[in-house]
Each structure stands twice: as structure tokens, then as C-alpha cells.
């Protein structure tokens, strides 16, 4: 019994081993005999996946894929019988063909077809004509979307968007004809994520843009149901394709990616895969967490942006194709009115003053074309009540709800403009007043000088008549005539200075430039007053580093400058003091110094001493009178010579005024010798005038 049982058991085990072996052999051994040639039916019109090019040859991503597949597996792939999409399915269904070059998985298809590895991921999207103003599929529900009858999208759209108007056509050609007739403005097309310019494959879609991707599906190899060996052969063949071959297809179609699926999973691959899956799971969890955080941050950011846009005092508005699609509250305040609907949908130029419209449109076009941000520019906009408003604006291109748009920022600058205008008015008033004042000064000064000159020449005339003249004899006349003359000179100096001052203000101080030996000019005028200075019980010392220095200057004005400085030195130096006039040759320039041992000028006054009407010691001594114009005139004259004037002074110890004049003699100017400069009589008159402030 035991032996029988043992034998039976042995037999059973043997049968089981044979059965298991057979099963394992049948499941692992390749029974399918490799064909040397396979046939693939080409779909005539399914760009960019399978189509006939202009020469009638099969072309497309799938065609290239199959060519690469054939090469990698040493199998000749024959492309045959171009047909339409629907027919390609029918052929498999009827059993006339065994391989479909690539299609989506669908439940009904799985009844007559097995699906192999994924070739690429394929998108299906809705493309709309450029002039259609829409953000998503619902915005075009009444517009008419053209779709081909066998496109999976038809069922998908019917199921998920029951309210949209779908127009079904036989193929894409018919859809495009419907577009031409104006029947539809949107079409449903399959495209690949990485093929950027869809209109390259569908030139008909040149004026269309992608509105929304409706789904993404893997495009897979399809094999007639039951042809397991063929399917394995194809899938293994895909695995055999080297990276280079796949790259070849990829690079030709620019951006396609081929995802390969491995079918023969060995045990160790299973372990590795399990580890990878676990790793991916952890990674996914981690990623999920990070994405959640990111989304949170994004939402917070979005909230902040919304707040910012809401609170921003500047008007922010967004427009697409010239029409306003968004405005913030500030824009409504600036433009006027209380409802954004009054602004949204309107043309941007509606808010721009007529003569600025072209400028704004040009600017808009440039911004859109070149994708640049404009610098801030000023415009006048028209408010909702028709009033004009000065604004500052700038524009740049942004993405708004997934579409290109222009963002314009406007700032109300009407108050600033008003202030500027007010300032301008005040300035104009001031200038007008200044001009009037200058004119008045000029006129009155000339009016004063005429009678004064008559007075002075009358006194001079009496002086010149013979000694026996009864006036000359008269002791009153003798006493008062010099006083009369001196006061005439004082008045004359004051008037001359006033006239020069107004001329400087008006920019009309005329300079009579010629070439002079400046050393001689300064020495002569100093010597002319030498005796007078000595009579004041003051020492005058003249010294020079050079005897001749020809420079271009106005000798008459330079004499006045020296006399003015000497007159101040005399006025502010006590008896017994000294006055030094020195000339230093600096080659490029000449320095003229008038120095005294007088009362000096306090430090704090030195900066303002050359300003008009400034007097340091005005009430110190009524005998040292003056108008405070002298030094300012001296400075102006020196500056007319492109020179500078400096002051060194110490209060209580004396002052030194240094004039620096550039030593350049113009070759085209006449050179005047010293004895031609001015007559003695003229010099005396000048001295009388310039020294008239000094009381004897």
C-alpha cells in the first residue's frame, strides 16, 4: 500500500513538474517566429503624427518611430495604403490589419485590440481664432467647436461639457472648410506638448491660438486582439531601440519624448522596481507636502498682490487687444464714476485725449511687439465726465488669465502740474518785475546823470575862466566850490555804478578789449594817485616782477578796478599806514595785489564782501561812506576778463585783494601803448570820481 501510495505520489509529482515546466515554458519561451517584414497602415491626415507630405510620402512622428523601430530590430517596415483615421480602426476591427501605428486606449477598442507600450504623451486642445475674446472653454460654448467624428475628444466633450455647441465633421479638412465658411471659430486638435508651433503642422491654424488643453493621453501601439506574440515582439522591439535611435526621432520632431514601457519584468527588476516605487512614494509624499506649502504661499502671495493692487493709489488697468479687461479701484477714482463696468470692455483710446491717441496707440503697438516696458510718459486722459486730466503712465506686457495683455499704470499728476504752473506764473511775474525794475534804474540813472553833468561842467567852466573873475575872487566861492565839485563827483560815481550794475544785470556791460601792457596800466594809475595818497599821510609802494606783460583787457575798466581797490584801501587805513600795489607774473596769468595795513575785514564778512550793497563797517565812521556796490562791480569786471578775485584779510591788521587775469593776448587785437591809454585830464576826472567818497 505504502509503495502504491509512494508510486502514485511520485507519478503525481512528476506530472506536476511536467505541467509546471510546460506552463513556465509556454509563458516564457518566445513561440512567435520573428517576421522579417511588417506592414503598417499610414493615416493620411493626422499631423504631426501620420500624414502624407507634399510629395505623397508618409511622414510624421509615428512614421519616424516605426522606421527607427524597424532599424533597431532589423525588420523591414512597409508603410502602405494611406487611409483616413476611421478606416485605420476599421481595418483592425475587421481583422484586415494586425498593427495600428498608434492610438489611445478606449474601452470599446479593447474589445478588438490589445494595447502595447506608450510611444508618446499626446494632448488634445481647443484652438480659437485670435479675435475670439475668451479665457476658457465655457466662454465659447455658443460659438461652435469643430471636431472630427472619430476623435476621442468628441465623446469626451459631449460627456464633460454637455452645454457646448459641438459641430462634428468627417475629418480635419472638413473642419477647416467649416472655419472658412464661418461656421465654427474654434477647433479641437491633438497636439504634442513639446511641439510648440502647432500651425507648422496645420498651416490652416495660423490665426488660431490655444485656448485650453482638455486632456492628455498616452499614445500606444495597437495590435489586433489575441495577437499576443506579435505584441510581445513589438514591445520587445521597443526595448531594443537604443537611446540614439530614439534621440534621432526626437531631434527630428524637435521636442517629442518617447516613453518606453518594459514588459519582461525579471525578479530582480521587480525588487528594484519595488524599491524605486517606495522611494517614489516617499518622494511623492514629500513633494505633496512641499506643493501644499507652495500652494499656500502662492495663495498668500496672490492675496497680498490683490491687496496691493486694491490699495495702490495709482490706477492699474489691464487690456487685451486694445480693450480694458481689468481695473483697480484707483483707476475708477481717477477716471471718475463708481462702476468698473463703465470702463471694462471699452477701448483704451476712449480715455485718451484726441491728439494724444496716436501716440498712445503707437506706444501700445511697440510695447506689444517688442515686449518692453515703456519709460514713464505724460498724457492727458479724458475722465468719464469729459474733463481732461494730466497723468503719468507706463506700460508693459504681462500674462493675464493665461493670455498676453498690456498692463498700464496711471498716476494723477494734475496737482503737481497745477503747482508747476503756479511756480511758472510766479517766476514770469518776478522776471517781469525785475525787467521793469532794471528799466527803471537805467532810465532814472541816465536822467540823473544829465543834470549832474551840466552842474559839474558849469562849476568847471567857472573854475577855468581867468583869475580876475569875480567868482574866483569870492571867498565863499573858494570855500564851497571844491565841496560842490566833490559832491557832484560822488553823485556821478554812484550813478555810474548804478548804470553799470543794471547793465551787468541785463548782460550788456560792454567791454572794450584790446591788448595792453597791463603792468604799465596798473603802474600809471597807481602813480597818478601817489601824491594824493601821500597827502593823506599814507605810504604807497608799487612793485612788479615784470616790466611788460601784454594781455587782452579793457584798460579803462581795469583802471576803475584799481582805483576802486585803492579808494577802499585809503578809506579803511589810518594815517601812517601803508598801501602796497604788487604785480606778480605767473606766466599763464598775471596777479595784481592791492594790500593795506588798515582795519581789515572780519572772517565772517569775507565771504559776502563781494555781494552787492554789503558794507562791513557801515556805521563805523560816517566819513567812510559808500554804496556797497564797488566790490561787486570789481568782481563782475574781473569775471568779464575770465579772471578771479581773492581776499586775504585779518581783522585789525589789514586786507589784501588779489586779482588774477589770464595772460593771453589775442593776436587779432590792436596793441595800445601806455601813453595812448587815456589823457591825463581823463585820468584826473576818473580819479576825482572814483575817490569822491573819501572826504578830505
Residues that bind ligand ADP (CB under 6 A): 568-569, 572, 596, 598-601, 609, 614-617, 626-632, 655
Kindly write down the DSSP assignment for every residue of 79-136, as one continuous string: EEEEE-HHHHHHHHHTTS-SEEEEE---TTGGGTEEEEEEEEEEEEEEEEETT---SS
Per-position b or e across 299-325, b if 16+ CB within 10 A of its CB: eeeeeeeeeebeeeebbbbbbbeeebb
Half-sphere exposure of 661 (CA within 13 A, CB side): 28
Closer CB to ligand ADP, residue 83 or residue 627? 627
User: Do β-strands 113-129 and 58-59 pair in parallel, antiparallel, or remain unpaired?
Assistant: unpaired
Nearest approach, Cβ of residue 498 and ligand ADP (Å): 12
State the residue number with the nearest CB to ligand ADP. 626
Nearest approach, Cβ of residue 392 and ligand ADP (Å): 49
554, 595 Cβ separation under 8 angstroms: no
Per-position b or e across 11-48, b if 16+ CB within 10 A of its CB: eeeeeeeeeeeeeeeeeeeeeeeeeeebebbbbbebbb
Rounded Cα distance between 696 and 693, Å, is: 9
Nearest approach, Cβ of residue 542 and ligand ADP (Å): 17
Closer CB to ligand ADP, residue 273 or residue 621? 621
| CB contact set of 153 (below 8 Å; sequence gap of 6+) | 124, 147, 188, 190, 214, 215
C-alpha cell at 26: 509556454
User: Do β-strands 514-517 and 671-672 pair in parallel, antiparallel, or remain unpaired?
Assistant: parallel
Nearest approach, Cβ of residue 604 and ligand ADP (Å): 13
Nearest approach, Cβ of residue 413 and ligand ADP (Å): 46
C-alpha cell at 162: 454637455
Nearest approach, Cβ of residue 525 and ligand ADP (Å): 17
Q: Which residues on adjacent β-strands are paired with residue 252? A: none
Nearest approach, Cβ of residue 582 and ligand ADP (Å): 15
630, 562 Cβ separation under 8 angstroms: no
Closer CB to ligand ADP, residue 316 or residue 633? 633
Nearest approach, Cβ of residue 546 and ligand ADP (Å): 25
Closer CB to ligand ADP, residue 459 or residue 491? 491
Nearest approach, Cβ of residue 441 and ligand ADP (Å): 17
Cα angle at 412 between 411 and 413, to 5 degrees?
105
| CB contact set of 691 (below 8 Å; sequence gap of 6+) | 529, 532, 563, 567, 570
DSSP helix/strand/coil, 456: helix
Nearest approach, Cβ of residue 694 and ligand ADP (Å): 10
Kindly write down the DSSP assignment for every residue of 18-50, as one continuous string: HHHHHHHHHHHS--SPPPSEEEEEEESEETTTE
User: Do β-strands 514-517 and 550-553 pair in parallel, antiparallel, or remain unpaired?
Assistant: antiparallel
Nearest approach, Cβ of residue 446 and ligand ADP (Å): 21
Closer CB to ligand ADP, residue 367 or residue 599? 599
What is the layout of strands, in order, in the sheet containing 58-59? 45-46, 50-52, 58-59
CB count in 10 Å sphere of residue 438 = 15
Closer CB to ligand ADP, residue 412 or residue 660? 660
Closer CB to ligand ADP, residue 362 or residue 639? 639
Per-position b or e across 153-178, b if 16+ CB within 10 A of its CB: bbebbeeebeebebeebebbeebbeb
**Sign of the four-CA dihedral 139, 141, 147, 149:** positive
Nearest approach, Cβ of residue 646 and ligand ADP (Å): 13
What φ, ψ does residue 195 adopt, rounded to 5°? -90, 105
Burial of 100 (0-12, 13-18, 19+ CB in 10 A): buried
Closer CB to ligand ADP, residue 227 or residue 625? 625
Cα angle at 338 between 337 and 341, to 5 degrees?
95
Closer CB to ligand ADP, residue 331 or residue 593? 593
Closer CB to ligand ADP, residue 100 or residue 635? 635
Closer CB to ligand ADP, residue 517 or residue 567? 567
Closer CB to ligand ADP, residue 411 or residue 617? 617
Half-sphere exposure of 293 (CA within 13 A, CB side): 5
Closer CB to ligand ADP, residue 524 or residue 690? 690
Closer CB to ligand ADP, residue 349 or residue 606? 606
Nearest approach, Cβ of residue 625 and ligand ADP (Å): 7
Nearest approach, Cβ of residue 608 and ligand ADP (Å): 9
Kindly write down the DSSP assignment for every residue of 385-417, as one continuous string: TS-EEEEEEEEEEEEETTEEEEEEEEEE-HHHH
H or E stretch at 382: strand 377-382
Nearest approach, Cβ of residue 436 and ligand ADP (Å): 26
Closer CB to ligand ADP, residue 360 or residue 633? 633
Q: What is the DSSP letter of 374?
A: P
Amino acid at each position: 500500500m505504502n509503495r502504491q501510495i509512494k508510486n502514485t505520489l511520485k507519478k503525481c509529482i512528476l506530472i506536476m513538474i511536467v505541467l509546471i515546466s510546460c506552463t513556465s515554458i509556454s509563458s516564457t519561451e518566445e513561440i512567435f517566429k520573428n517576421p522579417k517584414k511588417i506592414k503598417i497602415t499610414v493615416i493620411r491626415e493626422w499631423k504631426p503624427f501620420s500624414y502624407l507630405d507634399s510629395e505623397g510620402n508618409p511622414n510624421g512622428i509615428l512614421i519616424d518611430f516605426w522606421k527607427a523601430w524597424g532599424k533597431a530590430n532589423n525588420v523591414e517596415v512597409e508603410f502602405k495604403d494611406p487611409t483616413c483615421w476611421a478606416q485605420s480602426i476599421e481595418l483592425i476591427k475587421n481583422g484586415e490589419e494586425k498593427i495600428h501605428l498608434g492610438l489611445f486606449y478606449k474601452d470599446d477598442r479593447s474589445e478588438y485590440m490589445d494595447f502595447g507600450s506608450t510611444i508618446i504623451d499626446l494632448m488634445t486642445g481647443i484652438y480659437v481664432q485670435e479675435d475670439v475674446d475668451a479665457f476658457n472653454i465655457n466662454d465659447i460654448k455658443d460659438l461652435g467647436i469643430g471636431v472630427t467624428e472619430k476623435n476621442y475628444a468628441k465623446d469626451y466633450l459631449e460627456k464633460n461639457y454637455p452645454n457646448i455647441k459641438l459641430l462634428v465633421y468627417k475629418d480635419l479638412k472638413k473642419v477647416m472648410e467649416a472655419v472658412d465658411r464661418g461656421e465654427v471659430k474654434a477647433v479641437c486638435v491633438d497636439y504634442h506638448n513639446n511641439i510648440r508651433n502647432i500651425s507648422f503642422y496645420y498651416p490652416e491654424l495660423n490665426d488660431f491660438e490655444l485656448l485650453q488643453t482638455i486632456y492628455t493621453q498616452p499614445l500606444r501601439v495597437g495590435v489586433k486582439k489575441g495577437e499576443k506574440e506579435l505584441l510581445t515582439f513589438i514591445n520587445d522591439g521597443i526595448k531594443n531601440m537604443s537611446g540614439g535611435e530614439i534621440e534621432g526621432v526626437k531631434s527630428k520632431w524637435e521636442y517629442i519624448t518617447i516613453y518606453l514601457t518594459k514588459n519582461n519584468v525579471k525578479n530582480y527588476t521587480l525588487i528594484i522596481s519595488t524599491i524605486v516605487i517606495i522611494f517614489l512614494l516617499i518622494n511623492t509624499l514629500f513633494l505633496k507636502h512641499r506643493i501644499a506649502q507652495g500652494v499656500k504661499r502662492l495663495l498668500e502671495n496672490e492675496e497680498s498682490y490683490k491687496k496691493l493692487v486694491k490699495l495702490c493709489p495709482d490706477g492699474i488697468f489691464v487690456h487685451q487687444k486694445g480693450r480694458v479687461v481689468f481695473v483697480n479701484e484707483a483707476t475708477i477714482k481717477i477716471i471718475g464714476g463708481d462702476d468698473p463696468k463703465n470702463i471694462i470692455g471699452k477701448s483704451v483710446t476712449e480715455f485718451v485725449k484726441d491728439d494724444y491717441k496716436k501716440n498712445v496707440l503707437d506706444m501700445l503697438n511697440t510695447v506689444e511687439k517688442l515686449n518692453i516696458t515703456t519709460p514713464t510718459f505724460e498724457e492727458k486722459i479724458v475722465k468719464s465726465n469729459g474733463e481732461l486730466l494730466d497723468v503719468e503712465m507706463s506700460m508693459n506686457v504681462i500674462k493675464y488669465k493665461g493670455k498676453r495683455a498690456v498692463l498700464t499704470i496711471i498716476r494723477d499728476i494734475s496737482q503737481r502740474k497745477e503747482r508747476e504752473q503756479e511756480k511758472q506764473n510766479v517766476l514770469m511775474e518776478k522776471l517781469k518785475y525785475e525787467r521793469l525794475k532794471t528799466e527803471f534804474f537805467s532810465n532814472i540813472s541816465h536822467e540823473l546823470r544829465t543834470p549832474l553833468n551840466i552842474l559839474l561842467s558849469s562849476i568847471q567852466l567857472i573854475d577855468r575862466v581867468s583869475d580876475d573873475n569875480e567868482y574866483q575872487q569870492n571867498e565863499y566861492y573858494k570855500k564851497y566850490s571844491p565841496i560842490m565839485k566833490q559832491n557832484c563827483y560822488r553823485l556821478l560815481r554812484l550813478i555810474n555804478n548804478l548804470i553799470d550794475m543794471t547793465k551787468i544785470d541785463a548782460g550788456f556791460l560792454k567791454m572794450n578789449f584790446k591788448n595792453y601792457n597791463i603792468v604799465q596800466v596798473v603802474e600809471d594809475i597807481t602813480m597818478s594817485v601817489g601824491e594824493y595818497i601821500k597827502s593823506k599821510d599814507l605810504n604807497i609802494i608799487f612793485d612788479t616782477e615784470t616790466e611788460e606783460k601784454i594781455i587782452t583787457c579793457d584798460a579803462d575798466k581795469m583802471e576803475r578796478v584799481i582805483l576802486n581797490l585803492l579808494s577802499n584801501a585809503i578809506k579803511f587805513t589810518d594815517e601812517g599806514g601803508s598801501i602796497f600795489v604788487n604785480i606778480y607774473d605767473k606766466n599763464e596769468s598775471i596777479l595784481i595785489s592791492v594790500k593795506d595795513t588798515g582795519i581789515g575785514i572780519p572772517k565772517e564778512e569775507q565771504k559776502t564782501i563781494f555781494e552787492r550793497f554789503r558794507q562791513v563797517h557801515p556805521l563805523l565812521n560816517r566819513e567812510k561812506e559808500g554804496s556797497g556796490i564797488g566790490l561787486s562791480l570789481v568782481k563782475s569786471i574781473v569775471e568779464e576778463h575770465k579772471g578771479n578775485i581773492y581776499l586775504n584779510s585779518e581783522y585789525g591788521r589789514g586786507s589784501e585783494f588779489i586779482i588774477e587775469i589770464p595772460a593771453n593776448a589775442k593776436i587779432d587785437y590792436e596793441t595800445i601803448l601806455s601813453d595812448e591809454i587815456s589823457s591825463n585830464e581823463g585820468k584826473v576826472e576818473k580819479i576825482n570820481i572814483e575817490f569822491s567818497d573819501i572826504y578830505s
